[in-house]
Amino acid sequence: MLLENKNAIVTGGSLGIGTAICKDLAANGANVALNYRKHSAEAEAIAEEIRAMGRKALVIQADVASFADAQKMVDTVVKEWGRLDILVCNAGINWDGVIWKMTEEQWDTVLNIDLKGYFNYIRAAAPVMREQGYGRIVNLTSINGMRGKFGQANYSAAKAGIIGLTKTVAKELGNKGVTCNAVAPGLIMTDMMEKMPEEAKQASLNETAVKKLGMPEDVAYLVSFLCSDKAKHITGEVIKVDGGQYI
């Protein structure tokens, strides 16, 4: 197995793409700790699936926007399992609006979760990974952080910030055996996407080269690969999973 006996943290693991990532990491041999803020039942259900695969699972209530919560979660995993090998920063929200109507609350809320939340966890995990001389960090960004998106100034800015953060962390931790990469999905079939107006959904579908939307598993497979030693010489990269939506 690619990730036998590795210990992973996945933020936002109770829903959507995060759930697929948790399951695929476990299917490849990893123990998985996931956080939740409100969806405790969903998180516990995923943990039970992980345990049914013969892996360890931890469910921890943590707000990714909280620096203290991130540190506490990393400390808990290291205390329980002895080390932390993998960090997948996935948790995020969107709260859309055109720039001339966007409120300060909309901006701050999205940036605090979608960008500061990534900093919080990487900051907590970095000393652990540096000391043990090994680590895999994967950050979920978006093609809209690479190209911008009408009505998503806050979300696109946060996702663009993740790309800069990824490249910097790759440079800072590379000589300690730690890689850091970003995965940029296009439109993926999740509960959030299903709530989109049909017209907007069709417009995104028409943008793709393959003329179909991606599934959460399409993202998860790449994340698991980047967390494995087969990707040990890949760092600082941003890899799209978008069916050619942004070429």
Provide the mean pLDDT of the chain: 96
pLDDT band at 72 (very low <50, low <70, confident <90, very high): very high
The predicted pLDDT at position 214 comes to: 96
Nearest to 184 by CA among 232, 231, 139, 236: 139
- For residue 124, the model assigns a pLDDT of 98
The more confidently predicted of residues 30 and 200 is 30
DSSP code for 242: S
pTM: 0.97
Please check the confidence at residue 191 and state whether its pLDDT lies above 80: no
How would CATH label the architecture of 7-241?
3-Layer(aba) Sandwich (3.40)
Strands 238-241 and 31-36: unpaired
CA distance 184 to 97: 22
Of the candidates 152, 174, 159, 177, the one whose C-alpha atom is nearest the C-alpha of residue 90 is 159
Tokens of 12: 């936002």
Following CA atoms 223, 3, 34, 189 in sequence, which dihedral angle do they give, to the nearest 10 degrees? 30
pLDDT over 90 at 114, yes or no: yes
73-111 pLDDT per residue, tens: 999 999 999 999 999 999 999 999 999 999 999 999 999
How confident is the model at residue 38, as a pLDDT? 86
Q: In this model, does residue 153 exceed pLDDT 90? A: yes
Q: Express each pLDDT in 10-38 by its tens digit.
A: 999 999 999 999 999 999 999 999 999 88
Q: Which of 44, 69, 53 is nearest to 123 (CA)?
A: 69
Structure tokens at 227: 């967390």
Hey, what amino acid is at 75?
A: D
Q: How many CB atoms lie within 10 A of CB 112?
A: 17
**Using 50, 70 and 90 to split pLDDT, how confident is the model at 172?**
very high
What pLDDT, on the 0 to 100 scale, is given for residue 52?
Answer: 98
For 114, the 3-state DSSP assignment is helix
CA-CA distance, 229 to 226, in Å (whole number)?
Answer: 8
8-state DSSP, 13: T
The whole-number pLDDT of residue 190 equals 86
Catalytic residues, by residue number, are: 155
Query: Helix (H, G, I), strand (E, B), or coil: what is residue 162?
Result: helix
Domain boundary assignment for the chain = 7-241
The answer to whether residue 195 scores a pLDDT higher than 80 is: no
